[in-house]
Structure 1
């Protein structure tokens, strides 16, 4: 592992949040309650057994179908709370894991992150539960992961759904300069509730904010204020590098499952905008066009656009989002 890798017992030396009443959580999100019971699954990955946390929610009236939910980088499985409820009430079994390196899952020392590896980990968990087909839904970074999963396991993927996925453009190819993991790590250590709220308000929600969004910001940033803060920051730096260096957009033409693209059009998310040249920065993250371009590149794609919603339409307007989602899901 690189020299800056920090063991789990290292004491944090991070920027202090300006709101001291904000909660602090452990490196595996200890202290934050999920909306459903959390189970631990063990998968063999990179020469060791690694724990993945997940919620496996059974519906009262099953329709025989399973949905797998993949969270974004600044989110956890718990942030799918409303979507889990909507899908479960409609009869779907819902499995919502925390990916390795995130939230309540293990953050192994010396781990090499790739979308291929995270997809394999997820498939191993599903195999353990004897699931042979599922609808795969990914949001933000989870959209990139979901598309990689569908490319690797097309026969397993009944339908691919991407909600404001990252990586609808290749930032590096467009000219955004690369930064080292070490430099990214230093930036991640500065994460606070206030910094993340400011970022999300500007980029995700076009300057608007609702008090109920605070919970999800606290969920993620609470780990940066707790006893495992540097460990969390290091793994966030590793996964940020994965997002930047492993685009999936060039392979969209190879996607086989029916694909539903759900795009909040006021979203401005683009990794590296802050280090891009001003002219380029203005071009990045234009979801008014990115969804259309992706839908044209993906065989058998359906595009749903929300003109007045941003990066997290499932949080911003859950009733409208879930109605559109349920209407767009295909039968087994």
Structure 2
């Protein structure tokens, strides 16, 4: 090749633009009914017509894999979660011979996300209707966080269907109205629209003593749903159910629960409603789970208290072995 023919080629090569670095791909949006998100057990749907709306309530009905004992356990999830986070507890109970029913409450998880007048009475009634459809006359009711408030309402509303009540770091062990200022549902809704991945992760980190990589799953689900075109509907449900928690305390009814109660309390938990809008002085008095657990144990007529040192808000995720030991030990008595 002659020099005259080589130079243009070299010039072209020398001025070629550098290859662009591969930009990180943003997370894939996730539908607000968790479309495509894997469930730890097959999902079924209960048709519901409520307040003029045709809805679907998702649930798992898991049979015993060990020798069946004829008993059924109902697992009720917290506000920022859904039935799938019970996966290890479902497995432990099923292996121990229990049938396990795990609903996603209306407004949560795989269920419909309607704009309702949300109340613990309504959610308890729909849960009872699900059990009737499944032919389950009585259950052990287990509730975590907000699910603990719902479990208490269920036990009060349907004592004949509640053999035992188990509360795992429930919120509502205090009446938030005493120290947390009221906010309108519209204001709460606007706050729910302001979502960032970092903010979601920072909030979830308050649940645990030590952060572990596997907890990222719940951060990703929460954040990816916020990328959905339907997210404003989910944000409204979140605001409406926060209002439900604030306006419908159950702590004053603990003395009227007739079923035997197990309280499992992670001692490092400081979860409270309305953390961002209370004064530092008020915040120091809220979410004090070591004292709240003892106070609740004194209030229930028949209560067993299990305290878990160095465990936060979600024992069944953070310390599943200790949680299952307490739960199965209580149910086996």
Alignment CA distance shift 1:317-1:23 (3 Å): farther
Q: Which residue of 1 aligns with 2:307?
A: 305
Q: Which residue of 1 aligns with 2:7?
A: none
| Unpaired stretches in structure 2, ≥5 consecutive residues | 1-23
1:149 aligned onto 2:154 = yes
- SS state of the match for residue 243, structure 2? helix
> How far, CA to CA, are the matches of 1:322 and 1:220 in structure 2?
26
Q: Report the CA distance between 1:330 and its aligned residue.
A: 4.9
Q: Of the candidates 205, 209, 217, which is equivalent to residue 208 of structure 2? A: 205
Pairs aligned (count) = 309
Q: Which residue of 2 aligns with 1:256?
A: 258
Q: Which residue of 2 aligns with 1:88?
A: 94
> Structure 1 length normalisation: TM-score?
0.90
Q: Of the candidates 62, 65, 78, which is equivalent to residue 68 of structure 2? A: 62
Q: Which residue of 2 aligns with 1:171?
A: 176
1:324 aligned onto 2:326 = yes
> How far, CA to CA, are the matches of 1:252 and 1:99 in structure 2?
23
Q: Report the CA distance between 1:74 and its aligned residue.
A: 0.6
Alignment CA distance shift 1:113-1:226 (3 Å): same
Q: Of the candidates 94, 113, 122, which is equivalent to residue 118 of structure 2? A: 113
> How far, CA to CA, are the matches of 1:75 and 1:20 in structure 2?
26
- SS state of the match for residue 284, structure 2? helix
| Unpaired stretches in structure 1, ≥5 consecutive residues | 1-18
CA RMSD of aligned residues (A): 1.4
> How far, CA to CA, are the matches of 2:26 and 2:215 in structure 1?
17
> Structure 2 length normalisation: TM-score?
0.90
1:287 aligned onto 2:289 = yes
After TM superposition, the runs of 4+ consecutive aligned structure 1 residues lying more than 6 A away are: none
Contact 1:274-1:281 within 8 A present in 2 as well: no
1:189 aligned onto 2:193 = yes
> How far, CA to CA, are the matches of 1:189 and 1:66 in structure 2?
38
Contact 1:25-1:227 within 8 A present in 2 as well: no
Contact 1:23-1:218 within 8 A present in 2 as well: no
Q: Report the CA distance between 1:279 and its aligned residue.
A: 0.8
Q: Report the CA distance between 1:176 and its aligned residue.
A: 1.3
> How far, CA to CA, are the matches of 1:328 and 1:24 in structure 2?
41
Q: Which residue of 2 aligns with 1:6?
A: none
Q: Which residue of 2 aligns with 1:13?
A: none
Q: Report the CA distance between 1:274 and its aligned residue.
A: 1.8
> How far, CA to CA, are the matches of 1:81 and 1:192 in structure 2?
27
> How far, CA to CA, are the matches of 1:192 and 1:130 in structure 2?
43
Query: Which shows bigger deviation, 60-69 or 190-199?
Result: 190-199
Q: Report the CA distance between 1:112 and its aligned residue.
A: 0.6
> How far, CA to CA, are the matches of 1:66 and 1:87 in structure 2?
9
1:134 aligned onto 2:139 = yes
Q: Which residue of 2 aligns with 1:41?
A: 46
Q: Report the CA distance between 1:228 and its aligned residue.
A: 1.3
- SS state of the match for residue 283, structure 1? coil
> How far, CA to CA, are the matches of 1:152 and 1:22 in structure 2?
42
Q: Which has the higher contact order (CA 8 A, sep 6+)?
A: 1
